[in-house]
Structure 1
Amino acid sequence: MDKPLLLGIVLAVIIGIVGFGVIIDEYVDSQKPIKNTTVFHVTLADPALYDCETIGASTYCKYTETVFLEEGMYEFRFVPNGDSPQKLSVKLNYSPSTEWQVDRPEHVSLHYVLVGNLVEEGMSSWYTWKYQIVPCSGCANLGDGETGFKIDEPQRMEISIDPRGYLNGPVSIELVQIK
């Protein structure tokens, strides 16, 4: 065989292998498992955990905590029961660390409704509970009815949870980084 022809074949094989490796690497990156790192958790079961203020004839209560979030995809997860608040509003706001950030709007505003599903098996029946999200324009659909949101750069954020007037029902809430 001619030496330049053999060199050309070897070079073509190497280029093919490298090209295939790049394509496979991109596919593998897109199929990486969910990260599932909990960055925030709270169990709200006591009215004393909420900060309340009265405006006119109405009282508004919310639980607030500041967290540092890395760049990535996040979702809120809940452990509710039948006594949990029927509606929850969760907001993520920029926590101003410098003067130029003071007027930045909220980053994410999510609203949830508690839904009970009756399960009947033989002589037994019970309810399972979950929070269903009210459609969100700034959220990404993760499939299976789950919704997440993206943080573009590492930053300090304030999480604000409003039980919409129902302070006595217990619910556990966590913010999970999924990618």
Structure 2
Amino acid sequence: MRLLIMGAPGAGKGTQATALAERYGIPAVSTGDIFRSNIQQGTDLGVQVKAIIEAGEYVSDDLTEAIVADRLAQPDCAQGFLLDGFPRTMHQVHFLDEHLSATSRQLDAVVSLQVNPDALVDRLLERARIEGRADDNEDTIRRRMEVYAGQTAPLLFHYERQGILVDVDGTGTVDEVRERMFAGVDKHTGK
């Protein structure tokens, strides 16, 4: 099973990605986790990424694509994977399509978590308060929403045209969203 989960920052991608990966026995590949790990370790990549994130911008396509290609080449991804946080731009979509095609693979489904933008801002401000995330102040959150709408939303249309988009209402409890998500993916993939 090869899946992708999408949604604006704060939509619950990380939480739901873990559940999807466990359900289908595939690794969750999160670019955000990879970046945060490098920031915490103080690697060269981490220093670069920290400055970009603190400005409310996204990491460049080339840098992100190289990291994802390396991760998908790992043995645990041979039988499937769940991408979380990638792709975010059409450049990355085309890279992923070509990368998968070159290895005779394709995505089975793309889960899109749909949540009202004002609710997302509230969620992220609460998360920032609880987790002490320096990159989650209101100005940065709103900038990330603008970047998401401008760069990432067109990807949904691309995957809808391919017939692999599974829209999921991302409001409600974690369990409610998870059940809707599982039902949507199972229906789409015939599992």
Q: TM-score, normalised by structure 2?
A: 0.26
Structure with the bigger percentage of strand: 1
Q: Which has the higher contact order (CA 8 A, sep 6+)?
A: 1
Q: Which has the larger radius of gyration?
A: 1
Q: TM-score, normalised by structure 1?
A: 0.27
Structure with the bigger percentage of helix: 2
